[in-house]
Chain A
Amino acid sequence: MTTSTFTSSAGASRILRSVWAAIKKIPPVYPLFFAIFISIGFLGQSYQTMPGILNFLRRAAPLAILAIGEMLVLATGGFDLSIGSIVTLVVLGSSKLLNNDPANAIPSILIMLGFGVLIGLINGTVVSYLKVPSFIATLGMLLLVKGGALYWVGGAPQGYLTDNWRFFGREYIENVPILGRFPVALLILIVIAAFSWFIFHRTNFGKQVLAIGDNVRASQLSGVRVRLVRTMAFVLSAVFAVIGGVLIGGYGGVNVTIGEGLEMQSIAACVVGGVMLTGGRGNVMNVVFGAFTMEAMFNLLNLLGLPKPYKDAVQGLIIIAAVAYIALSTRRKR
């Protein structure tokens, strides 16, 4: 009798312990996101409805796409500071290429994707073959792309973005069962996240990216083609930035400063999603939720009615607090 109660209580505690272990394994970004999201749900009625939630996700989608691309580079141990200015290039360049004619929408997006591939290739080549640290290489690219875009359009937006170009960023797919109207931007995010999840977590490429970030020399000696993999990461990052730019332009319209600071926001989203800036760690889902957390935070600050400057200050505080929390909790685990 006593033995059986003893064993059952031991079994219960073992179950409890394994449940606790499972809880501890949940990356801190999820509780963080739900805490912020639930508080904006209390403050803003619209966040309690399905359209409200979908709308929130639509606004978060571009940052999430940029952050996934940034993660691929961060995981190799590098930086990509050029993605914000790529967004500026996409929006300003398209406004020029479109020439106010809807028929030019698809060609202009394709040309921008081409620019993305080119920028990524140059970033990757400069880092891999000229051995320039990626922080400097992509900082140079930031200046080059931003200056180039503004020079191309003469310093001010030329014309507007046609409605069909803006389709991806602001339109909905109507009559989806249960969900109602489904934002196109969110669909694109899902496709990109699934694609990235597959190549990052289910192919050799992803393992090689992480191996390079963990230890370049060791991965090189074990046969990883470091330069090729790294260049691929830069190309994907730049192409994702172009896609993000199409969504951002579609939602927000033409603006000279539209891409400013997005590289820093993406890096912050990645870090909130548990990516280490020294490389070797990364997870697509966590990073997507890192971006959602950032967007939820912006919404929270909006709902609290803070003036823009104080929003910056609180954003800084929250980024530091979130990262300190994650840093301390991972140190405890070791």
Chain B
Amino acid sequence: MATITVSQNKWKQALGRLRIPPVYIFLVITFAVGGLLDQIFADGQIFTNPSIFMNMIVRSVALGIVAVGQTLVIIGASIDLSVAYTISITAVMSSFIMQGDPNNVPQAILIVFAIGAVIGLVNGLLITKLNVNAFIATLGTSLILKGIINGTFSNYTGSIPRSFEAFGYNQIGPIPISILVLLLVVFAGWFLLNRTKFGSHLYGVGGNNEVARLSGLRTDRVLIMAHIICSLTAVLTGLFIVSRLRSGAPWVGPDGIYDLESIATTVVGGTALSGGKGGVWGTLAGVLIFGVLDTVFNQLGVNPYLKTVLRGGIIVLAVASYTYRSKREAA
């Protein structure tokens, strides 16, 4: 009897050391329930067809990459509403510069990452140096980007060379490159947050900016850095989308609601909007939940408007599943 409890404790300790965010339970439940519904009401491909299973993850790549950046910013108690139009600008500019010529790929990538860095820098400077509330500052830059891009381009512009489609479509062995890139980005986010000075500083700044500042952190630099990284992840998402679509259009970012959905998945993944708490593994689970839902809805042929309704309900339920026990009042 005693030995059993000891071994149970060992298991608990081991699990505790892995620190799996509770949202993974929600992910498993969503997958199981979705798969069962698919078994009963549709052709049951989710459980049986590996390519559908892979596709489920590929659906999550675009949102997943930018959500990692959003997670960093939210851990710093900030927010970025400009990612959707950063994605659009990237998609349009890269296909415009490439014009189907493989020789233009390096400079296109360089230029869009530079644009992304500037957007992040501007966001960070507005928030830290001009003291503009992050919500309003990034809403403002989002409107500016929207104006610039809609004023310059009105439809699909340019195209990408075949070689660049590899990012969106090719596989290494059985695994699509895009999934590897997503995992790499998540791992990089984890590394930044948990194994670098920048990461601990970011948690400090998000937990209590004033205390962090008084204990000698250059809080402004940390936040500006987080915003630059966030914009760069948005650029990477834009590059992935353009490699899937083969050409960029100004509406690809806002149509995917990448701004609000990246925030939603971050919070579903257990990162607190008030900052200072959370991590990228939870966000990955949040993103995968959305990917699973998408696939399940497609399999079941759910009406697109009903899909939106269900999405809204599930976001709230997923977050409520662990907040309802909290003793503190939410804001």
Contact = CB atoms under 8 A, between A and B. Distances in A.
A227 B141 CA distance: 35
B316 A316 contact: no
Interface string A133-145: 1111101111111
B130 interface: yes
Nearest to B135: A277
Nearest to A276: B133
Interface string B136-152: 11011111111111110
Interface in A216-273: 216-217, 220, 226-227, 264, 267-268, 271
B313 interface: yes
B28 interface: no
A313 B147 contact: yes
Contact of A320 (B140, B151, B309, B316): B140
Given A317-B144, A319-B140, A130 B126 contact: no
B308 interface: yes
A133 B330 contact: yes
A188 B147 CA distance: 33
B308 A327 contact: no
B255 interface: no
A324 B132 contact: yes
B131 interface: yes
A128 B126 contact: no
Interface stretch (B3-11, B87-95, B259-267): B259-267
B148 A320 contact: no
Interface residues of B, number: 50
Residue among B133, B268, B312 with most chain A CB within 10 A: B312
B319 interface: yes
Given A129-B324, A133-B319, A320 B137 contact: yes
A280 to B, nearest CB: 11
A316 B147 contact: yes
A312 B140 CA distance: 9
Given A131-B326, A309-B147, A147 B307 contact: yes
B136 A271 contact: yes
A136 B137 contact: no
A66 to B, nearest CB: 16
A276 B131 CA distance: 12
Contacts of A277: 133, 135-136
Contact of B312 (A76, A131, A147): A147
A311 interface: yes
Interface string A206-221: 0000000000110010
Interface string B294-320: 000000000101111111110110011
Given A143-B315, A315-B143, A126 B320 contact: yes
Contacts of B135: 267, 277
Contacts of A195: none
Residue among B147, B263, B267 with most chain A CB within 10 A: B147
A323 interface: yes
B323 interface: yes
B273 interface: yes
A320 B143 CA distance: 10
A331 interface: yes
B136 A130 contact: no
Main secondary structure on chain A at its contact with chain B?
helix
Interface string B142-185: 11111111110000000000000000000000000000000000
Interface string B49-69: 000000000000000000000
B328 interface: yes
A282 interface: no
Interface in A286-334: 307-317, 319-320, 323-324, 327-328, 331
B139 A319 contact: yes
B151 A143 contact: no
A311 to B, nearest CB: 7
Residue among A76, A217, A264 with most chain B CB within 10 A: A264
A146 B330 CA distance: 24
A148 interface: yes
A132 B309 contact: no
Contacts of B144: 312-313, 316-317
A324 B273 contact: no
B144 to A, nearest CB: 4
A192 interface: no
A322 to B, nearest CB: 9
A307 B150 CA distance: 10
Contacts of B303: 151
Given A271-B136, A309-B151, A130 B329 contact: no
A323 B324 contact: no
B316 A226 contact: no
B14 interface: no
A127 B305 contact: no
A71 to B, nearest CB: 15
9 contacts: A78-B331, A129-B324, A130-B316, A144-B308, A147-B306, A147-B311, A316-B144, A316-B147, A324-B132
Given A141-B312, A143-B308, 15 more contacts: A130-B316, A130-B324, A132-B316, A143-B312, A146-B308, A147-B308, A217-B328, A267-B139, A277-B133, A308-B150, A309-B148, A309-B149, A316-B143, A320-B137, A328-B130
5 nearest CB pairs, A to B: A313-B147, A147-B308, A316-B143, A143-B312, A309-B151
